[in-house]
């Protein structure tokens, strides 16, 4: 019953927004701000052309790789920064210096760095690089603060049992830091997905961000909003998937939220 009420409230909020949107754009054609009906027609037009799912695949491809690489690099680095003083002193200033730079500023550099690559479409690699950059800093920060926040008791007990090295890492530190790291990953994935539109301003020929940039050139604002709808939907799905991973990982350790 509680769940149904929650769902209904959510729908009411969404419905209110759609209603306002419809009223504000009443009678608009494609060339003005398009209303919800035009946008939905746009989605079905894209789907009918067979473009939609191709573009979804392209965008997912870039975001998944960028994010996966960011996790692979960011989590160990964050753990190391949190655990070891000399790593922190060595790396932290660099991380803090790079963190405030918007990934969009990296656009030209990303293109030049991956210029002339032959084994894969270079613009794809540049887009992946941008998404990597956007998501790695929240991951590092989350992992660092997770390790720093581990209760000193655990570490002392582990030391008393003469646990060290890898056992310490995998049996004490990771489990203790996991909840916070996973929350950080979830946030980072959200950011990675947000940066997509900017990353696909490059010379790519596919993807939802490309669809937005391309539809601007084509003066098809209905398709811009259609792509926004799809981005939003997939963003929700990605977040839900991440939440599931989070919960299943936590419940195995008996620390699930609910």
Q: According to CB under 8 A, which one of 213, 225, 231, 238 is a site residue for another protein?
A: 213
Q: Does 48 bind another protein (CB under 8 A)?
A: no
CA 42 vs CA 18, 153, 222: distances in Å: 16, 57, 6
Comparing CB distances to another protein, the nearer of 65 and 154 is 65
167: which 2 tokens? 């056992």
- Candidates 82-90, 91-99, 105-113, 146-154: pick the segment binding another protein (CB under 8 A): 105-113
Residue carrying structure tokens 């696909």: 200
**Per rule CB under 8 A, is residue 144 in the interface with another protein?**
no
Dihedral Cα 101, 103, 107, 113, nearest 10 deg: 80
The answer for residues whose C-beta is within 8 angstroms of residue 196's C-beta and 6 or more apart is 59, 62, 63, 131, 207, 208, 209, 231
Residues 164-193 that bind another protein (CB under 8 A): none
Assigned token pair, 246: 């989070």
DSSP state of 33: S
Please give the size of the binding site for another protein, defined by CB under 8 A.
41
Q: Which of 8, 14, 18, 57 binds another protein (CB under 8 A)?
A: 57
Binding site for another protein (CB under 8 A): 31, 49, 51, 54, 57-58, 60-61, 64-65, 68, 107-108, 111-118, 121-124, 201-203, 205-206, 210, 213-214, 216-220, 245, 248-249
């Amino acid at each position: 019953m509680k769940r149904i009420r929650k769902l209904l409230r959510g729908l009411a909020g969404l419905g209110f927004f759609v209603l306002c949107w419809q009223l504000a754009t009443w009678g608009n054609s494609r060339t003005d701000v398009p209303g919800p009906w035009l946008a939905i027609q746009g989605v079905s037009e894209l789907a009918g052309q067979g473009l939609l799912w191709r573009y979804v695949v392209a965008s997912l491809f870039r975001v998944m790789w960028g994010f996966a690489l960011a996790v692979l690099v960011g989590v160990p680095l964050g753990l190391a920064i949190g655990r070891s003083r000399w790593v922190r002193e060595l790396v932290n200033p660099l991380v803090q210096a790079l963190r405030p730079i918007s990934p969009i500023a990296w656009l030209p550099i990303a293109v030049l760095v991956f210029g002339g690559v032959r084994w894969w479409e270079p613009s794809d690699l540049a887009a992946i690089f941008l998404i990597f950059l956007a998501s790695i800093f929240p991951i590092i920060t989350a992992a660092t603060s997770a390790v720093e926040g581990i209760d000193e008791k655990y570490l002392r007990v582990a030391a008393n049992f003469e646990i060290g090295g890898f056992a310490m890492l995998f049996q004490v530190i990771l489990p203790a830091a996991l909840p916070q790291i996973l929350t950080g990953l979830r946030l980072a994935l959200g950011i990675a997905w947000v940066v997509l539109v900017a990353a696909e301003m490059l010379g790519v020929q596919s993807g939802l961000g490309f669809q937005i940039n391309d539809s601007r050139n084509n003066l098809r604002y209905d398709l811009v909003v259609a792509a926004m709808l799809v981005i939003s939907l997939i963003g929700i799905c990605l977040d839900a998937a991440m939440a599931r991973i989070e919960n299943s990982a936590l419940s195995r350790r008996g620390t699930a939220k609910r």
